[in-house]
């Protein structure tokens, strides 16, 4: 019978060494909430699991001097939800992380796991992408930084090279009237995988006009997709802008029919969520100084 090995290195460099040297199928584990399910169904058959949670700093949230945030890759959604400064600055990111699964799942699930599991429907990804998040990646060549949206290349696939793993997420400082929001559609009120997810970040000028925006859709394409922000930039999100946004959101959808939603339904709801999430983000940004 094939057997499974487990290690829990206590430094980044040890983790890199083990990961780079592993010859068989290997998985890095943070919260484990996706990994254990896939182990049990046999969808994944790793020979080695590398648990990162004993590495100092891999769990924890710091607000940097410039006001931005550094989030340890294995930090749980529950910890994100309890961090007052983070929740105030990035309510959308925090909402998204706290929608993953259940309270129990949020007690373990991490941004790194949610990202690197690379499900098209991952809840946190559209929110972190819209927020302009970046990741620090450790590997045999040292550390590098990458935009979050560059990590996932397809369902179940990432751009991480052999020996690489994510050690931290970074969110830029909130400047001026900038705020984010995340909405998802699910048939029940909790527990479901997103049928459509939408993360929006907007920046307003003093008059309330949108000067910058980023809109990311999840679960409607093999990876998250960006919606054309020019549809709302320069507007105060009036009805015409909302209609343009709705149409643009529907236009970038390339979903599948599956047990969670049809192509037609996902496309229509993408437009609906884009409008609604943008409205929330604009309202929040308007309330900032």
Residues found near other proteins in the complex (CB under 8 A): 1, 3-6, 8, 31-33, 36-37, 39-41, 49, 51, 53, 76, 78, 101-105, 107-108, 185, 187-193, 258-262, 264-265, 268-269, 272
Nearer to other proteins, 268 or 288 (CB): 268
Nearer to other proteins, 146 or 247 (CB): 247
Shortest Cβ 273–other proteins spacing (Å): 8
List alpha helices for the chain, DSSP H: 12-21, 35-41, 77-82, 84-89, 91-97, 103-106, 111-116, 124-130, 239-252, 263-286
For 253, phi and psi rounded to 5 degrees?
-70, 140
In sequence order, the β-bridge partners of residue 28 are 50
Q: What is the sign of the dihedral through the CA atoms of 150, 56, 171 and 278? A: positive
Concatenate the DSSP letters of all residues of 218-286 into one string.
Answer: ESSSSS-EEE-GGGTTTS---HHHHHHHHHHHHHH-----BTTB-HHHHHHHHHHHHHHHHHHHHHHHH
Nearer to other proteins, 48 or 282 (CB): 48
Shortest Cβ 63–other proteins spacing (Å): 22
Nearer to other proteins, 187 or 287 (CB): 187
Shortest Cβ 10–other proteins spacing (Å): 12
Shortest Cβ 103–other proteins spacing (Å): 5
Nearer to other proteins, 50 or 174 (CB): 50
Nearer to other proteins, 76 or 224 (CB): 76
Shortest Cβ 243–other proteins spacing (Å): 13
Q: In whole angstroms, how far apart are CA 200 and each of 77, 85, 127?
A: 19, 19, 7
Nearer to other proteins, 189 or 207 (CB): 189
Separation CA 271–CA 215 (nearest Å): 11
Two structure tokens written together for 150: 């560059």
Shortest Cβ 285–other proteins spacing (Å): 23
Measure the CA angle with vertex 251, ends 269 and 259; round to 5°: 45
Shortest Cβ 86–other proteins spacing (Å): 18
Nearer to other proteins, 214 or 260 (CB): 260
Separation CA 101–CA 155 (nearest Å): 19
Separation CA 154–CA 254 (nearest Å): 13
């Amino acid at each position: 019978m094939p057997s499974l090995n487990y290690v829990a290195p206590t430094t980044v460099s040890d983790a890199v060494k083990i990961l780079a040297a592993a010859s068989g199928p290997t998985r890095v584990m943070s919260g484990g909430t996706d990994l254990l399910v896939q182990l049990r169904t046999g969808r994944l058959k790793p020979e080695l699991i590398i648990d990162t949670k004993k590495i100092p700093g891999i769990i924890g949230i710091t607000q940097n001097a410039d006001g931005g945030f550094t989030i340890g890759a294995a930090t749980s959604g529950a910890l994100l939800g309890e961090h007052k400064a983070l929740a105030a600055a990035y309510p959308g990111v925090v909402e998204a992380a706290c929608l993953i699964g259940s309270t129990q799942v949020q007690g373990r699930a991490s941004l790194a796991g949610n990202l690197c599991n690379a499900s098209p429907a991952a809840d946190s990804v559209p929110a972190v992408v819209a927020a302009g998040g970046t990741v620090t990646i450790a590997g045999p060549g040292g550390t590098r930084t990458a935009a979050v949206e560059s990590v996932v290349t397809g369902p179940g696939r990432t751009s991480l090279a052999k020996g690489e793993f994510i050690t931290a997420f970074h969110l830029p400082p909130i400047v001026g009237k900038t705020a984010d929001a995340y909405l998802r559609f699910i048939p029940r009120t909790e527990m479901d995988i997103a049928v459509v997810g939408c993360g929006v970040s907007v920046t307003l000028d003093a008059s309330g006009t949108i000067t910058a925006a980023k809109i990311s859709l999840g679960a409607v394409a093999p990876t998250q997709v960006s919606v054309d922000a020019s549809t709302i930039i320069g507007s105060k999100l009036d009805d015409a802008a909302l209609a343009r946004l709705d149409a643009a959101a529907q236009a970038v959808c390339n979903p599948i029919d599956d047990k969670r939603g049809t192509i037609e339904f996902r496309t229509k709801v993408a437009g609906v969520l884009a409008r609604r999430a943008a409205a929330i983000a604009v309202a929040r940004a308007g309330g900032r100084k």
